Amino acid sequence: MSSNRRDFLKKASLLSAAALAVPAINTEALAAPRFNMWGYAAPKIDKVRVAVIGLGMRGPGAVDRLSYIEGVEIVALCDKYADRVAKNQKILTNKGLKEAKAYSGEDGWKQLLKNEELDLVYICTPWEYHAPMAIESMKAGSHVACEVPIGLTVKECWEVVKTSEATKKHCMMLENCCYDFFEMLTLNMTRQGLFGELIHAEGAYIHDLLDLNFNKNGYDNMWRLRENIKLNGNLYPTHGIGPIAQCMNINSGDRMTHLVAMQTADFMMGDKARELAAKDSFFQEFVGKKYRGNMDTTLIKTELGKTLMVQHDVTSPRPYSRLHLLSGTKGFAQKYPTENIAFGHSFISKDQMKELYAKYTPELIKHIGELAKQVGGHGGMDFMMDWRLIDCLRNGLPIDQPVYEGATWSAIVPLSCDSVAMNSKSVSIPDFTQGAWKTNKPVDITLNGGGNTPIKAKTSKDTSKQLNV
């Protein structure tokens, strides 16, 4: 055998071995042609035809909020249960709006996508349906707004990203906490350099949902409790990670590279199941299950050497907290239990805080914030999120949370589960931007080119009057 042939075979074997060493899902993603959705401005849509899928806990609020935004036509409503669809029709008709097309049943959403010509599908279903519905909606030619998380596996997150790129349809995960008032204040302050360079950030979702998760009349078929059995990690990271990741320019100047997750044992859910089962045989199914622990703490490292911490606890009897902590070379900010900012060893005064709000509140909040409080949705942040998305679609602007944000933040769910299962070993975080984070620019939080979408007056009697905000 010639030396040239031996060299060729040797190189070929090395290449084959290298290919086998790369996880299949990453190989698949890198091999596919891609279009960078970061900063992409889709063609303007004068009237946004919307379908809302999932009308249980979150869906009715979405129907109500969207009905206030000019340029939105809710053309279809869908839920597994027909009575929920009928109930939500009244939200529209009570405001003088026409009924939407009704879809119900297990496959009602598939018929909806097949029959309707849509611009936006708004998904409020249980978590396991998010990725499949988002993917099929984009393939059907619609932009997507999807409740958190965008996917429950890394593979699902990749598929959502690839579908968005292939179809050039936006897929925005509805991370409403990015639109809360203090979070947006600190985002703008970060952009203006008041905290210097951020070094470390912390977020959380600490919310006592023990009774709600065990409520027979709460989540349909106890689906959220079942997720606390199936998934053993940080089940709900996006409320905590979203706002701090935006402040740290994750996916637009830096990226998360790996994480470790450590979790307590379960000290409450198993006991709760036994307590309820002793009184009601309905809960016998949930006795003896292995529940996720009370507190999950996930630590994340970035390419530039910065760190983030995200916590999750939905069972302990603690006050609500999303934490939101930013630590930089020149300053510090923290929310929960109170809003505090410091540029040294002491927190600033209340008067100084008012001055910061006056000077650094982003244009979005100045423009729509007070009206958002009137319409509602977690103090107004839900409505600001909805209004901003519609305004971007109507004016052909890039959206605030491109698909890579939803994928990256959601991937913490399965990756934290992997780390916990491996006794808190380090787990790599995929780069869903495929290197574009190096050149992506931070999302514009001004209203350049937009801000001209009016909302209807908040009254069920007069839907003709509009407020040009």
Instruction: List pLDDT tens digits, range 386-427.
Output: 999 999 999 999 999 999 999 999 999 999 999 999 999 999
Band of residue 34 on the pLDDT scale cut at 50, 70, 90: confident
In b/e form, how buried is each residue of 342-366, taking b as 16+ CB within 10 angstroms? Answer: eeeeebbeeeebeebeeebbbebbe
Asked whether the beta carbons of 108 and 80 are under 8 A apart, the reply is yes
Give pLDDT, residue 458.
61
Mean pLDDT of all residues in the chain? 92
Give pLDDT, residue 1.
46
- Tokens standing for residue 187: 């985002």
Band of residue 467 on the pLDDT scale cut at 50, 70, 90: low
Band of residue 463 on the pLDDT scale cut at 50, 70, 90: very low
Give pLDDT, residue 379.
95
String of DSSP letters for 217-276: TSSGGGHHHHHHHH--S-S--HHHHHHHHHHTTBTTTB-EEEEEEEEPPPSSHHHHHHHH
Domain residue spans of the chain: 177-366+393-438
CATH of 177-366+393-438 among 3.40.980.10, 3.30.360.10, 3.30.465.10, 3.30.1330.60: 3.30.360.10
Instruction: Please give the average per-residue pLDDT across 77-105, as a whole number.
Output: 97
Rounded Cα gap, residues 342 and 331, in angstroms? 6
Give pLDDT, residue 31.
47
Tens digits of per-residue pLDDT, 118-127? 999 999 999 9
Give pLDDT, residue 25.
41
Tens digits of per-residue pLDDT, 327-338? 999 999 999 999
Asked whether the beta carbons of 343 and 336 are under 8 A apart, the reply is no
Q: What percent of the chain stands above pLDDT 90?
A: 89
Model pTM above 0.95: no
Tens digits of per-residue pLDDT, 265-314? 999 999 999 999 999 999 999 999 999 999 999 999 999 999 999 999 99
Give pLDDT, residue 17.
37
